[in-house]
Amino acid sequence: QVQLVEAGGGLVQAGGSLRLSCAASGGIFSRYVMGWFRQAPGKEREFVAAISWSGDRTYYTDSVKGRFSISRVNAKNTLYLQMNSLKPEDTADYYCAAERGDVSLRTMTPDYWGQGTQVTVSS
């Protein structure tokens, strides 16, 4: 059983930056594809970004390309999401997710979820 705990959310003005982190425990972190999803009020949860086991491959949804960067430090069992040039439409609860195995980043289907961290971007 993998436990995921997010941190780093908060309130930021449009154009600002935030860095989310996700601490993992209970599994072999380096054998999970990791990702970030988000859910805005009144909307379905959507994929944001994913990263391969070693971190050599990443994939982003179009709306965050060039602004967000996903990374991981396997030695620390930690996943990150650097979010720059934030927009009000990025406002959402952000969830860390893990999928066991060497799976496709584009069609990531998580086995485990964190509890979420709230990001609010004011205009």
pLDDT in tens, the chain (123 residues): 899 999 999 999 999 999 999 999 998 898 999 999 999 999 999 999 999 999 999 999 999 999 999 999 999 999 999 999 999 999 999 999 999 988 899 999 999 999 999 999 999
- The pLDDT score that the predictor gives to residue 11 is 98
- The pLDDT score that the predictor gives to residue 9 is 97
- The pLDDT score that the predictor gives to residue 47 is 98
- The pLDDT score that the predictor gives to residue 1 is 85
- The pLDDT score that the predictor gives to residue 38 is 98
- The pLDDT score that the predictor gives to residue 83 is 98
Q: How far apart are alpha carbons 109 and 19 in whole angstroms?
A: 23
- The pLDDT score that the predictor gives to residue 27 is 85
The helix/strand/coil state of 30 is: helix
- The pLDDT score that the predictor gives to residue 69 is 98
Strands (DSSP E) along the chain, which ranges? 3-7, 10-13, 18-25, 32-39, 46-51, 58-60, 68-73, 78-83, 92-100, 112-113, 117-122
